[in-house]
A and B are shown apart, each in its own frame.
Chain A
Amino acid sequence: MQTAHQDSTWATASQASRTQQAPINKRLRTGTRWLFIVLCLLPSMILFLVFVLLPVIQAAYYSLYNWNGLGPLDNFQGLKNYASIFQDPVFIGAIIHNLVIVALSLLVQVPLALVLAILVQNVPGKRFFRLVYFLPYVLSEVVTGLIWSFIYDPNIGLISDLTKLFNPSAVPPAFLADTRTVLIAIFIVMIWKYFGFHFVLYVAGLQNIPAELFEAARIDGANSWEVTRDITLPLLGSTIRLSAFLAILGSLQYFDLIYVMTSGGPLFSSDTMATYLYHKGFQNFQLGYGSAVGVTIFIICFVFAIFYQRWVMRRDLAGAAE
């Protein structure tokens, strides 16, 4: 009896003291809570602000100046850099090359990946083909570019060997040194390197289509073309739109392979916006002008991404409800 009574007194006492301490405790607890949150976020935030966000803001700032990257930043130009960019035929050419690559990607690369993904479904060795097709995607752009520089080399490359094999007296073509063929030659390398990525996207998309749909169509007597047209393609719609989106965005920003294989040449005939930026910024040290090119690339990609997501991918982003 007595112990129980004591206990309850203890309980009331401790309850009283707890109620008194609660605000302090709570304040302390929210304090440590905030400290914990800040400590968790701070390192990544600093890294992100210093090396991503700040440089992008600075690019917009530098783009208003004529600056070689050394001396003081005092030669304010306003929007003059932007005006000169669009008056430079080399940049206009670069945009056109980007657009040609965009068009070729949409007309050749994306359909190729889609067709292969559908074909590979009913073929033995599906896993092997996936393994092979995706392989170039994990190789570096530099290694890829140098491999194909070798393949295209007019003296020792595979292409010239094959030409000589069929016609020993022919002069081996130098596809990368010819202003008319260089873009196509580079585009073939881009297909080689990137179609496997789109292929894998489509294979994943196909796996999400319920098998019963195909079975039902077969029972109803649909042939494989009808199945593809009426079931596969419509149900792959979101994957196709995503794959096209990535292909366009990638083509607009393209740099690595072109820099390695031709550096934009011969005579700017394979320049893209990004190689143009590199030449102006890092080879001519026109940092203000180069920054303006960077901002221009960003705006083009940004506007494209917004429009595409609003008009083309709207239904995909809205979720399954359709």
Chain B
Amino acid sequence: MKRTLSISQIISLLICSIVALFVLLPLFMVVLGSLRTTGELVSAPLSWPRQLHWENYTSILSGDNNFWSYLSNSVIVLVESLALLLAVSCPAAFVLARMVFPGREVVFNTYLLGLLFPAAVALLPLYIVLRNMGLLDSLGGVVLPQTAFFLPTTILILRNFFRAVPNDLEEAASIDGASKIRFFWSILLPLSRPALAVVIMMSTVASWNNFTLPLVILSTPTNMTIPVGALQFQGEYSANWAAMLAFLTLAMIPAIIVYLMAERQIVAGLTAGALKG
């Protein structure tokens, strides 16, 4: 960089860097701590670890502390929620966006009502509903309600996008003999890839991090997802901070990898949800 920076740029850069340090330092301390023993954490906290203790990781990855159950449960919940969400919201958004029928606005506004409810309001009755359905302590008990809670934003975003597709396209398709379903499947959905990416990213992050609902629904450790599992792990290993830090590092890795790979879509997805809400 040959370009010289002005004083104000240097100050700006300094402030931005300090804030970046504030963000990264805790994460760095966690990763560093995960490579020590708990004894070292207490006695020589700020020194560089003399020897890297990978056994914190190997004991989690090979031990009987349910890490793999938590991970696979989180993946199952994520995949099932996304599949269900797309399967039910795409057709609904299509009908609400591109067909005229009496009662359409009523249906649409009913979904929008969902944006107003904080999840906490419904939590207790939801627990009773799931108990009556026999879905307590099962992954289905997480998948179904969380998908239902993703519906309003998803339908809103997809409907707005579907509406923006020009009518000429649909007319051309129908002149060529394509049915509504054909138009939806072969033209509209492929065109809507950006909107689908936004919806998928939003729901992926929300599902992966969802805590309140799984906390209430899941009680057997082998049924837990990563966030609830992390608390469970903390309860079991409260005296062993080094193991806890290794667990946290392992829990962060998938999220960070996905974030680095799809940063643009994730940022767009999470902010679009807020803007449309």
Residues of A near any B CB (own CB < 8 A): 33-34, 36-37, 39-41, 43-45, 47-48, 50-56, 58-59, 62, 69, 112, 116, 119-120, 122-125, 128-143, 146-148, 150-151, 153, 155-156, 158, 160-161, 165, 192, 196-197, 200-201, 204, 224, 242, 246, 252-253, 255-256, 259-260, 273-274, 277-278, 281-282, 287, 290-291, 294-295, 297-298, 301-302, 305
Contact = CB atoms under 8 A, between A and B. Distances in A.
Contact of A197 (B15, B151, B271): B271
Interface stretch (B53-61, B187-195, B245-253): B245-253
A301 B115 CA distance: 12
B124 A141 contact: no
5 contacts: A36-B181, A119-B15, A147-B30, A156-B38, A260-B211
B122 interface: yes
Interface secondary structure of B, over-half rule? helix
A192 B24 CA distance: 10
B118 A47 contact: no
Interface string B70-90: 000000000000001001110
Classify the interface of chain A: helix, strand, loop or mixed: helix
B178 interface: no
A112 B18 CA distance: 13
A201 B272 CA distance: 9
Nearest to B45: A161
Nearest to A298: B121
B52 interface: no
A228 B155 CA distance: 38
A146 B29 contact: no
Given A40-B95, A44-B155, A161-B46, A143 B23 contact: no
B7 to A, nearest CB: 11
B42 interface: yes
A277 B267 contact: no
B234 A146 contact: yes
Contacts of B228: 142
B126 A55 contact: yes
A120 B122 contact: no
Interface string B5-20: 1001100110110011
A32 B80 CA distance: 30
Contact of A156 (B45, B181, B205, B252): B45
A44 B88 contact: yes
A61 to B, nearest CB: 8
A135 B149 contact: no
Nearest to B205: A138
A255 B25 contact: no
A156 B41 contact: yes
A132 B271 contact: no
A62 B121 contact: no
A246 B248 CA distance: 28
A148 B26 CA distance: 7
A124 B209 CA distance: 32
B48 interface: no
Contacts of A55: 121-126, 129
Given A122-B12, A135-B23, A48 B148 contact: yes
Interface in B251-277: 251-252, 255-256, 258-260, 263, 266-267, 270-271, 274-275
Given A255-B212, A282-B216, A298 B113 contact: no
B16 A301 contact: no
Contact of A256 (B30, B205, B211, B267): B211
A294 B120 contact: yes
A282 B126 CA distance: 12
Given A36-B180, A132-B23, A135-B23, A51 B126 contact: yes
A51 B121 CA distance: 12
B245 A131 contact: no
B173 interface: no
B225 to A, nearest CB: 10
A92 B88 CA distance: 42
A146 B16 contact: no
B124 A59 contact: yes
B145 interface: yes
B107 interface: yes
Contacts of B221: none
